[in-house]
Amino acid sequence: MSNSPTALHELGVAALARQLRERKVSALETAQHFLARAQAHAGLGAFLAIDENVTLAQARAADQALATGNSEATLLGVPMAHKDIFVTKDFVSTAGSKMLAGYRSPFDATVVAKLAAQGVVTLGKLNCDEFAMGSANENSAFGNVANPWDQSRTPGGSSGGSAAAVAAGLVPAATGTDTGGSIRQPASFCGVTGIKPTYGRASRYGMVAFASSLDQAGPLARSAEDCALLLSALCGPDLDRDSTSLDVPAEDFTRSLADSLAGLKVGVPQEFFGEGLAPDVRAAVDAALKEYEKLGATLVPISLPRTELSIPVYYIIAPAEASSNLSRFDGVKFGHRAKDYSDLTDMYKKTRAEGFGDEVKRRIMIGAYVLSHGYYDAYYLQAQKIRRMIADDFAQAFKQCDVIAGPVAPTVAWKLGDMSEDPVANYLADIFTLPASLAGLPGMSIPVGFGAGQMPVGMQLIGNYLQESKLLNVAHQFQQATDWHTKRPQGF
Ligand code: GLN
């Protein structure tokens, strides 16, 4: 086979899929190449599980299908790894928690199964914050992930392993989940492209539940084009297994990538450009907005007046749902069980005290509190009402524009340890990603430059419901005109 193996990790999903189809490279050598890279860069802490035998068997199967030349699968032989919040039959699934250390699921999450059905070869499972709670990947029970651009910094979270692995070229792409920003923010911190679709587009079946009314899956990759290919494969109705799955047919999200942006109205929310935004991030985002003007778009000032409220609202609703979802980890059905206990209650207490980390415990307590008799009306119900108003703000905004653009996060990736003792500081950093999550809108992050410490800066694009094609088109056109998404960290 002609391709020099060192070049394989420089290819994106689309290019790799083409080379595989044209049989310029085999699925087996591709898988071997990436497994070797994962091993060589194990120090990043991105992977939680690797099983060569499983991966190579999948790659051989892909090669057989490729040899027939008549498979319709779009991603045959393309390797990927999954955030460890997706359950998988063939790899241990931990959700970043001691509670699930060593846990093996009897089935694959729908997203995993859908990608496998398109021929994806699984390289392993990727580190994440415990039960996806966090913004720095520092809440994982299995250690930090380092940002490949500066290993003393966080890759972001909770899909930190996914973003770091893509940025370092350990995988061409990865899955992530986004409850309040966990695809967009790590994508931004690591200089990769990621998209969270409209709530309900991707099945939540087999995604370890954090906050069910917010959790949504999506891809992280090198480009909008790659994200479009992957999103087309992983979305689609799953009505029997996820009651919030949308009954809209799967779509080919690559179809409108080439559309011109002439006449596009880009809404710029004034609340996203206030005092809290670091000047380096602002400069990169402003420059990207200028680029959009060059591409024929018009910038429209808009207002999302409840942006600030999205923090207290999210940090009531998400913990409330988490406290309910995590009640299943009781030491009885699966996962960790304390060794010594006197009776059933003692077993529950010890199991949960041992199995959960600090942030998870904090959220279970907050959630139980805001749902409790006497506080439900004051906190949970109020939060639900404001959540609706936040969605209404977007509805107003989309009367004036086609997409909304702004920063993903107020700063570039911070130093590991800098905020690990300060949960509120972490929560505040979610301000720009939470509004779209609460409204259930699709959002993405694309690299638009570098800020302090030569760290990547991402721009957030938010679309109206089911407008993923538009978002990807808007992102792709930017990436056709600029080369930020092609920049790679040194040493990888
Ligand atoms: N940082 C947010 C949190 O800690 C979002 C996490 C996520 O999207 N999974 O809850």
CA of residue 430 to ligand 1 center, whole Å: 8
Nearest residue (by CA) to ligand 1, atom 4, is: 134
Phi, psi of 183 (to 5 degrees): -100, -50
Does the active-site annotation cover 159?
A: no
Residues (pLDDT < 50) of the chain are 1-3, 5-6
Does the active-site annotation cover 83?
A: yes
Ligand 1: atom nearest CA of 135 is 1
CA of residue 100 to ligand 1 center, whole Å: 19
Q: How, if at all, do strands 265-269 and 403-407 pair? A: parallel
Does 207 contact ligand 1 (Cβ within 6 A)?
no
Does 159 contact ligand 1 (Cβ within 6 A)?
no
Catalytic residue among 93, 135, 182, 437: 182
Does the active-site annotation cover 361?
A: no
Per the CB < 8 A criterion, the answer to whether 416 and 144 are in contact is yes
Please enumerate in sequence order all residues whose Cβ is within 8 A of that of 455, keeping only pairs 6 or more positions apart, or say none. 147, 149, 150, 153, 189, 412, 413
Mutate to test the pocket of ligand 1, among 430, 433, 438 (most ligand atoms within 8 A of CB): 430
Q: Return left, alpha or beta for 249; rule: phi > 0 is left, psi -120 to 50 is alpha, else beta.
A: beta
CA of residue 314 to ligand 1 center, whole Å: 9
The Cα 107–Cα 87 span in angstroms is 7
Per domain, the residue ranges of the chain are 5-234
pLDDT at 334: 86
Both tokens of residue 67? Answer: 């040899």
Helix ranges, 158-252 (H): 160-167, 184-190, 224-234
Q: Tokens 């909304």 belong to which residue?
A: 404
pLDDT at 2: 44
CA of residue 189 to ligand 1 center, whole Å: 14
The Cα 22–Cα 67 span in angstroms is 10
Does 182 contact ligand 1 (Cβ within 6 A)?
yes
| CATH class of the domain whose range is 5-234 | alpha beta
pLDDT at 199: 98
Mutate to test the pocket of ligand 1, among 126, 128, 133, 216 (most ligand atoms within 8 A of CB): 133
Catalytic residue among 26, 97, 158, 232: 158
Does 158 contact ligand 1 (Cβ within 6 A)?
yes
pLDDT at 1: 43
Question: Greatest CA span in the chain, whole angstroms?
Answer: 70
Per the CB < 8 A criterion, the answer to whether 176 and 96 are in contact is no
